[in-house]
Structure 1
């Protein structure tokens, strides 16, 4: 039986087909890009905001400062050089991020839940996410979906979803389906196997737009599941 977290990760990996340079965050985005390197994007080059270019980490990193990120890398450099010469220089095809909250326009919150001055939860903040959202060729977001994460109004705009004169956020993948943009709003384009429209609506904090060409995400292959379960996440930290 395939879990919905496994569907989320595998769909995220497949979205990277044809991409070459990816600026990636830790957590779900990272396991998706490492799966992509082993399947649809073998030439994918990973950039981490700690200053690492072309990393091939032997395991899932615990943080952006984990030494394993340096393994096999093409270059290690100061953060200002990485952001200025690569990201702001237009050399990043896709930024792959997570989100705590997302609204219909694709604005991302990773700063606070609740009021900024006295929040219910203080989140990690922007880090390099806002810079990535503004400067990457396009942005993907990988996240679990509920009415707490898909909200009518984010509590704080950490990263704009659709910045002027940029493609910005183009793809959102959750444990329920895959989303793009139609007329400036998120639109459901694919349902994952076993997921119903009623479930998606119940997990969304606004009246969701449904694409006229709504399809179903292809089921995972045996090889994708083997890689995910045996090599990338044998302890089930991300896929349960």
Structure 2
């Protein structure tokens, strides 16, 4: 779909959050081994599993492998994850055997702040020693960002969340670019797709995020206005397919059951 077709799309039957979640779900291929973060990533991953990717393997930090929850889990400790899992293992085994050796294809993360090179902050806003906001922290996200084959990030976009440079690097993206991940010896390729309520960004060869697609009804100007740096735009900018009735019904059913 090209940008000239945006006007023909009825965007009143779904919300920006639904568009974002469905776009994030579509990014997950069937059979992928996915390390899932709670919140928006978990919603998107479970939507993918209940629609186009029934063989998606969901792995949660609590040690559940192949979870198939019928509703959205409230946390990584939600009992439904263990009850529906193919196996439950210890947390050290998840990290030492599955994650660190590179056995997980995709890490699916959220962010409080994200910068132009895909570095993620979930630690503090402001100075580390005297923060204006103290965030939930790292959890397993730094390991996920370092060791998964690739990382997808789903996050609502604003100038508060998309900043020139994060206040604290909790989870390493592409550093300052120019192959810094490789020089540090990280296994995975890092963030390859950032899905927001406005569009999709992907890194260029130097690791800097580039706007590659906008959602129906969204303009480049809107995306730039919600970005805290001079955002590059792909020459072949695409427009994402609008959510289908089936995708919307599946997402709403998951949310209603939770």
- TM-score normalised over the length of structure 1: 0.95
Residue 213 in structure 1 maps to residue 233 in structure 2? no
Give distance in 2, aligned partners of 1:222 and 1:114: 42
CA contact (8 A) 1:19 1:94 kept: no
CA contact (8 A) 1:19 1:93 kept: no
Question: What's the counterpart of residue 180 of structure 1?
Answer: 202
Unpaired segments of 5 or more residues in structure 2?
A: 1-12, 175-180
Figure out how many residues of one structure are paired with residues of the other and give that number: 235
Question: What's the counterpart of residue 81 of structure 1?
Answer: 93
Give distance in 2, aligned partners of 1:107 and 1:19: 27
Give distance in 1, aligned partners of 2:77 and 2:133: 23
* 1:18 CA drift (Å): 4.2
Unpaired segments of 5 or more residues in structure 1?
A: none
Give distance in 2, aligned partners of 1:209 and 1:18: 31
Which of residues 155, 162, 178 is equivalent to 2:167?
Answer: 155
Deviates more, 1:67-76 or 1:171-180: 67-76
CA contact (8 A) 2:51 2:250 kept: no
Give distance in 1, aligned partners of 2:84 and 2:78: 14
Q: Where in structure 1 do 4 or more consecutive aligned residues deviate above 6 Å?
A: none
Which of residues 7, 19, 26 is equivalent to 1:7?
Answer: 19
| Deviation per residue, 1:203-237 (Å, 9 max, x gap) | 000000101110100011110011111x11128x9
Which of residues 102, 111, 115 is equivalent to 2:114?
Answer: 102
Which of residues 52, 66, 75 is equivalent to 1:54?
Answer: 66
Distance 1:19 1:155, change over 3 A: farther
Give distance in 1, aligned partners of 2:93 and 2:207: 33
Where do 1:1-240 residues align within 5 Å? 1-162=13-174, 163-164=181-182, 166-182=188-204, 183-229=206-252, 231-234=253-256
Give distance in 2, aligned partners of 1:18 and 1:37: 8
* 1:193 CA drift (Å): 0.5
Deviates more, 1:61-70 or 1:94-103: 61-70
SS state at 2:256 partner: coil
| Deviation per residue, 1:81-103 (Å, 9 max, x gap) | 11111111221010000000000
* 1:58 CA drift (Å): 2.1
Give distance in 2, aligned partners of 1:117 and 1:130: 20
- Let me know the Cα RMSD of the aligned residues: 1.3
Distance 1:32 1:175, change over 3 A: same
CA contact (8 A) 1:190 1:215 kept: yes
- TM-score normalised over the length of structure 2: 0.88
